[in-house]
Structure 1
Amino acid sequence: MTAEIDRRSILQVIGIGGGIAFLAGCGAGRTEPAQTEGTSAGISFRDQQGRTITFERPVTSVVTIPMPAASLLVAVDGGADHLAAMHNASWVAMRDGILGTMFPQALELPHEIATQDFTPNVESVRALNPDVVIQWSDAQLVAPLENAGLKVIGLVNNGKQEDVDAWIAMFSAMLGKPERATEIKDHSDRELAEVKELAAGRSGPGPSILYFNRFVGGLKAAAAKTYNDFYIKLIGGSNPATGEDPLPGTGMVGLDVEQVLSWDPEVILLGNFDGAMPQDVYDDPVWKNVAAVRSRRVYKVPLGGYRWDPPGQESPLMWHWLGDIAFPQEQSGLRGKTTDYYRMLYNYRPTNADLDRILWTEQNRQSADYQQFNAG
């Protein structure tokens, strides 16, 4: 889900007298000085709605509705013990990805607590008696929960890395683990600097890259104010959906085949929100004249602890994967990076079989240069 508001958050977590304070500055399209709010005991921070959230002690029961939030909570917490329920799409990603292997107890949690459009099943959520509910900040999604007496933290997604940093900082604070926010952000910042340095050092433009959020049963592509547009441009590519002939509106926007044919993208990415695989595109004659198909540059985006296509704790791995796809002569050593990241995030060392599964090596093997991701 992509929020329509252009808002940036500068976040910092600090300890105050045994408690925790969360500093946030929010402004429409600008950065404002952070404002300190804290107590001598307990936890206090601002969510992305700009509201102060307080807890007397670290939370132990959390319901998550935004799709990335469940796996993000697990990564920050180092386990699923404090996750009480999640959106079904979060549960599906755990089941189909590697998180369910790492933390199988998470697959036993309730996951029918909201509709596909994030409308909460208030009675189901209230029956769990959670310390807090994580929800998108839209008023119509938050109000029913708050009217039922539930404490809600509102998230926004403006398609920027600052949003991910904000989510991690809030989750770390409420769990009583502010050091995790620092640790995860430090890792992310290092990878971001590396990717930016690589992009700045290239002499020519990168390929045009089109990301499909939905491919089966109707096309949807990443338009303006999406995280996908952010990382396509971050690694030095261009997104035809936000180029000279852009899609109207923001977020994931529907389009037809004719529009794709007119763009003629050089790389096509298939997201993890439906079952489309590269071979489905190669086998369909309607796509045969698209540059990405002619050069066999259609790829299924990896699925790890969470889907790599939306923003999340594994996004730095997505940046490197996409850079390797766009510029195959520059290999990042992604398998090693993934192993190191999983140790940091989950205290888990993935096997070669795990890495093959995360990277869809079998499903992507007919696509150009994908052998670079095979086990050495």
Structure 2
Amino acid sequence: MRKGSLKRMAVSLCAAVFLAAAGCGSAAPQSSAAAGTEAVSEASSEKAETKAQETKDTAEDKENGNESRINEDGTITIVDQLGKTIELDGVPDRVATTIMPFPYIFYAVVGNNDNLIGCNPSSILAYNDSALKYMYPELAKADTSFVDTSFVVNVEELIKLKPDVVFQWNYMDDEIKKMEDAGIKVIALQYGSAEDLETWIKIISTMMGKPERAEELITYFHKSVGEVDQVLAGVGKEDYSNVLLLSDKLKVTGKGFSNYWLEHSKAVSPSSDLTGEALNVNMEQIYQWNPDIIYIGNFTSIQPSDLLENKIEGEDWSAVSAVKSGNVYKIPIGGYRWDPPGVETPLMVKWLAKIQHPEEMKAMDMKDEVKKFYKTVYHFDLTDEMLEEILGDTQN
């Protein structure tokens, strides 16, 4: 807990208005091969938000009485997040996806399997750095030649994989059309909220003949986040930390899914009302915001030591409060990066809460929480070495 955050937030609000008026957003560049591409770039995020509004009424109309289901004859009816109905002959043997976090969510539903025959190349980059490689060895065989990191599909390569169904973002209209024109069944998913994540889990679970699995995962998700809500219920806004979400070199995260974990972990971000996943800022703006804590996204190669040791040429971080106090952290990667919506979001909320409110959260050991989560959700026992790969030395 850090005092004085709200005073700085008054300055931050003025700065936020200035940035919004200036239209400072731009898509984040790929920082390195290991980092891959943003889960949803700023431009993609804006498209996703627009598509979400366009399809909201249709989806709500479809939800009552005509939702995804397993039929008596064994066929499966999926209503996707475009409100479109996709009919499957049964549980698909061959599934492909362009969506980066999809493989680990799919694994949470199905377990180790050979059904996922194609995925985004960025998913494999993350996979090689994640705990998923220990749990889901079959994913290493997945083909990545049919799609690039911006979700554009090579239909000729995709046809060679003979997929029963393909998952694509709902705002990629042209990509969906060209796949459907080639006779490929496409399920569209929508990016952005915890509710969207629940819908992904329900669709995947129903499609794979495990509708009860969705209820298990979603119930545990809310139970886990609710544990943090209960512990932090008495924390007033005056004790919220002022946090900076650094998505890349002088780029910060604006309005998006991060608001969910900030809300539940009781923190504020001066950029949280600005639209975009990667907003351009300068050091003068950082000095005005003067965050108590800095979280560095897992999609960038930037490390805490780059800020703490002032290694980035042309940027002086030494005067920033978070750097002075050593409160600079790298967002972890578990089954997948913890930045976007995913089944491990409850761990992200707990990790943040432990950093931001150490007194209130002192009874919670983060390593124990991760171990328990993996055992409950994945039925997998993490070794101490695996746990170290996930959390490193960010917390005791």
Contact map agreement 1:192 1:316 (CA 8 A) in 2: yes
Alpha-carbon distance, 1:259 to partner: 2.1
Measure the CA separation in 1 of the matches of 2:141 and 2:62: 43
1:140-168, CA deviations, whole angstroms, 9 ceiling, x for partnerless residues?
Answer: 2322221221111111113x211111111
Measure the CA separation in 1 of the matches of 2:317 and 2:163: 48
- State yes or no: 1:241 paired with 2:241: no
Root-mean-square deviation (CA, aligned residues, Å) is: 2.1
Determine the structure 1 residue equivalent to 2:21.
Answer: none
Moved more, 99-108 or 299-308: 99-108
Determine the structure 2 residue equivalent to 1:154.
Answer: 188
Identical positions, percent:
31
1:4 maps to which of 7, 30, 49: 49
1:353 maps to which of 373, 381, 385: 385
TM-score, normalised on structure 1? 0.84
Contact map agreement 1:47 1:53 (CA 8 A) in 2: yes
1:220 maps to which of 233, 244, 251: 251
Determine the structure 2 residue equivalent to 1:266.
Answer: 292
Determine the structure 2 residue equivalent to 1:52.
Answer: 85
Note the residue ranges of structure 1 that are not aligned, 5 or more in a row.
Answer: 9-24, 365-369
Q: Which runs of 4+ in 1 moved over 4 A?
A: 30-33
- State yes or no: 1:82 paired with 2:112: no
User: Any idea what SS the aligned residue of 2:251 has?
Assistant: strand
- 1:278-317 correspondence to structure 2 within 5 Å: 278-284=304-310, 286-317=316-347
CA distance 1:341–1:119, change in 2 (3 Å): same
Contact map agreement 2:62 2:79 (CA 8 A) in 1: no
Determine the structure 2 residue equivalent to 1:367.
Answer: none
1:101-137, CA deviations, whole angstroms, 9 ceiling, x for partnerless residues?
Answer: 2222312321233222111122221110111111101
User: Any idea what SS the aligned residue of 1:72 has?
Assistant: helix
Higher strand share: 1
Which one-letter code corresponds to 1:142 in the other structure? I
CA distance 1:45–1:26, change in 2 (3 Å): farther
CA distance 1:31–1:49, change in 2 (3 Å): closer
Higher helix share: 2
Which one-letter code corresponds to 1:150 in the other structure? I
TM-score, normalised on structure 2? 0.80
- State yes or no: 1:321 paired with 2:355: no
Contact map agreement 2:111 2:136 (CA 8 A) in 1: no
Instruction: Kindly indicate whether structure 1 or structure 2 has the higher relative contact order, using CA contacts under 8 Å at least 6 residues apart.
Output: 2
User: Any idea what SS the aligned residue of 2:239 has?
Assistant: coil
User: Any idea what SS the aligned residue of 2:90 has?
Assistant: coil
- 1:20-169 correspondence to structure 2 within 5 Å: 26-27=56-57, 34-37=63-66, 39-41=71-73, 42-138=75-171, 139-158=173-192, 160-169=193-202
Note the residue ranges of structure 2 that are not aligned, 5 or more in a row.
Answer: 1-39
Determine the structure 1 residue equivalent to 2:276.
Answer: 250
- State yes or no: 1:179 paired with 2:209: no
User: Any idea what SS the aligned residue of 2:241 has?
Assistant: coil
CA distance 1:261–1:145, change in 2 (3 Å): farther
Measure the CA separation in 2 of the matches of 1:317 and 1:69: 18
Contact map agreement 2:244 2:252 (CA 8 A) in 1: yes
Measure the CA separation in 2 of the matches of 1:101 and 1:201: 39
Which one-letter code corresponds to 1:273 in the other structure? F
Alpha-carbon distance, 1:26 to partner: 4.2
